[in-house]
Amino acid sequence: MGRTASKPSQLEASAHTGPAELCPRPPPTPARARRPSIDTEQRAAAVAEAQTRAELRGGGGVSVLHIKAMAIRLRHRVQSTPRHPEASSYVAVDIVPKRSKEEHSDLAGVMAIIIHPLSSLLVAFPLGIAAHMRGWGALPTFWLNILALIPLAKILGDGTEELAAAIKNDTVSGLLNATLGNAVEMILSVQTLRRGLLEVVKATLLGSILSNILLVLGTSFLLGGLTGSSKSHSRNHIIHLDGYKPARCTLEKEQFFSSKNALVNMAMQLLACMTCALPTVFAAESDLEETRDKVVEVSRIGAVIIMFAYVAYIVFQLHTHKTMLALDEGQGSDDEDEEDDEGGLSAGAAVLLMAVTTVLVSISSEFLSSAIDEVVKHCGIPELFIGIIVLPFAGNACEHASAVRFAMQDRLGLSIGIAVGSSTQIALFVVPFTVMVGWLLGQPMDLVFGSMNTTVMILGVLVVLTLVIDGRSNWLKGFMLCIAYLFCAVLYWCMPPHMD
């Protein structure tokens, strides 16, 4: 009776402790006595209660748009280390000391962004230009520019975040990440639209959605569920093993995340699926030659409607339900605080960096899109495979790696914010953006993605929805998502040309 009555007081005391003490710890084990096992439901309830209290104390909400900004800031501030004695995950971090205002300089900030292992791929940019100018062939031009887009996408994303940090306004920061977070996809889509490769544009957008919700989220769940932690439980994870000893790889691990934001984003993606499915059915129910103009008209009006839905989504995230969607996972792990992080660039320097990078991305995308037709004809790579698998990987490789690393550090909220948030932005903003740009360029870009592509997108969203609805993850959920993405890749590799 005495031991049972002491548990509520421990839970109440946990609400007044620091972040590292949010979860109640089991009572001390007497000498020569076997430590009693902790009931799984009680431990999970304690974690959930502590998480709720932390959210209520947090004040300002952390939306998916803010989480993407946090992820990029953390990418600047953390360095992977083999193990940190106080961190909750074996993929721990050492925080780079904050610089004083006197130490801030635009040159140092630019160098901090450029000096990165991925920047070594920048050598592919001049080689890609040379391949196009000197006639080395379509295949070298294609792959060299694919490699060049990887570091350029990272630099453009970092420049966007530096601009948001320099402005020091949460709403503006969220809007910047909402509009420019997928700038590479937008630039690549515009360049491809100019050449009339409408199906490649649609495939690239579909591939960006699938790679985020299936590959990135799946890999995050898989590796996050297998990576060991230094503690058996925290506010972000729990390991259902008695007498757990820290290890680099573990079993019985379950990670927690707020399902509110995930469900809002998946609902918005289902809405986007509907706006693609209905025009596809509309076009299939009649002679496409006679109704082509009507299909394009419906798509353009629908794109405007989707844009209004995206504006409502941003207002919901950043203003009306900011506190409700607060994510305790997005505020850091048990051992660090990334609040009040200052940018390393001034606003002018960030804008200049973004402008220069945008020009380079446009040049690389132009040469890349010019080589697609030749690669498809002479190299045997299906056009849909290029659009759905290859191009999205080039534009999001760095962001994908960040999402996986955060999951391995038991920051699954950040991983979901990157993966699910990015796919929602593409579905609700980039897709209608390409339709409107096609309208301006005189290209009949529409929302008819084809029956196969629409089916794949709807089923992918439904699978993810069923896996995130409970706010928990494990390695099996991640494995299922990775298998789904691999099956889609095989499907598009083997798809005959007439089905494109």
- 263-310 pLDDT, tens digit each: 888 899 999 999 999 998 888 877 666 677 888 889 999 999 999 998
For 215-262, the pLDDT digits (tens) are 989 999 998 888 877 777 788 778 887 777 777 788 888 888 877 778
What's the mean pLDDT in 344-368?
84
For residues 54 and 46, the answer to whether their CB atoms sit within 8 Å is: no
In this predicted structure, what is the pLDDT of residue 457?
Answer: 93
Class of residue 135 by CB neighbours under 10 A (exposed 0-12, middle 13-18, buried 19+):
exposed
Is the pLDDT assigned to residue 70 strictly greater than 80?
A: no
Phi first, then psi: what are they for 78, rounded to 5°?
Answer: -115, 155
Reading the block at residue 400, the tokens are: 């994908």
Q: Alpha-carbon distance 357 to 149, whole Å?
A: 10
Reading the block at residue 200, the tokens are: 């490649």
How would you write the chain as a 3-class SS string?
CHHHHHHHHHHHHHCCCCHHHCCCCCCCCCCCCCCCCCCHHHHHHHHHHHHHHHHHHCCCCCCHHHHHHHHHHHHHHEEECCCCCCCCCCCCEEECCCCCHHHCCHHHHHHHHHCCHHHHHHHHHHHHHHHHHCCCCHHHHHHHHHHHHHHHHHHHHHHHHHHHHHHCCHHHHHHHHHHHCCHHHHHHHHHHHHCCCHHHHHHHHHHHHHHHHHHHHHHHHHHHHHECCCCCECCCEEECCCCCCCCCECCCEEEECCHHHHHHHHHHHHHHHHHHHHHHHHHHCCCHHHHHHHHHHHHHHHHHHHHHHHHHHHHHHHHHCCCCCCCCHHHCCCCCCCCCCCCCCCHHHHHHHHHHHHHHHHHHHHHHHHHHHHHHHHHCCCHHHHHHHHHHHHHHHHHHHHHHHHHHCCCHHHHHHHHHHHHHHHHHHHHHHHHHHHHHHCCCCCCCCCHHHHHHHHHHHHHHHHHHCCCEECHHHHHHHHHHHHHHHHHHHHCCHHHC
Phi first, then psi: what are they for 192, rounded to 5°?
Answer: -70, -35
In this predicted structure, what is the pLDDT of residue 465?
Answer: 92
Is the pLDDT assigned to residue 447 strictly greater than 60?
A: yes
Q: Alpha-carbon distance 149 to 184, whole Å?
A: 8
For residues 449 and 427, the answer to whether their CB atoms sit within 8 Å is: no
Q: Which residue has the tokens 């060299």?
A: 144
For residues 147 and 124, the answer to whether their CB atoms sit within 8 Å is: yes
Comparing 160 with 54, the larger pLDDT belongs to 160
What's the mean pLDDT in 127-149?
88
In this predicted structure, what is the pLDDT of residue 325?
Answer: 64
For 21-65, the pLDDT digits (tens) are 444 455 554 444 444 444 455 555 544 544 544 444 433 345 555
In this predicted structure, what is the pLDDT of residue 233?
Answer: 78
What's the mean pLDDT in 132-148?
87
Residue 207: name the closest of 357, 33, 436, 396 by CA: 396
Q: Percentage of residues in the chain with pLDDT exceeding 90? A: 16
CA 372 to chain centre: 26
Q: Alpha-carbon distance 164 to 458, whole Å?
A: 34
What's the mean pLDDT in 74-85?
44
Q: Which residue has the tokens 């569920």?
A: 225
Terminal Cα distance for the chain, rounded: 70
Among 147-156, 204-213, 238-247, where is mean pLDDT lowest?
238-247
- Answer whether 0.75 is exceeded by the pTM: no
In this predicted structure, what is the pLDDT of residue 337?
Answer: 42
Dihedral sign, CA of 197, 202, 204, 207?
Answer: negative
What's the mean pLDDT in 349-359?
85
Is the pLDDT assigned to residue 311 strictly greater than 80?
A: yes
What's the mean pLDDT in 383-412?
82
Question: Average pLDDT over the chain, rounded to whole?
Answer: 75
For residues 212 and 305, the answer to whether their CB atoms sit within 8 Å is: no
Question: Under 8 Å CB-to-CB from 292, ≥6 apart: which residues?
Answer: 444
Q: Alpha-carbon distance 190 to 53, whole Å?
A: 46
In this predicted structure, what is the pLDDT of residue 488?
Answer: 93
Reading the block at residue 133, the tokens are: 């100018």
What's the mean pLDDT in 139-154?
87
In this predicted structure, what is the pLDDT of residue 16?
Answer: 44
In this predicted structure, what is the pLDDT of residue 68?
Answer: 55
In this predicted structure, what is the pLDDT of residue 56?
Answer: 40
What's the mean pLDDT in 158-172?
71
What's the mean pLDDT in 174-195?
76
Strand partners, 79: 94
In this predicted structure, what is the pLDDT of residue 336?
Answer: 43
For residues 390 and 192, the answer to whether their CB atoms sit within 8 Å is: no
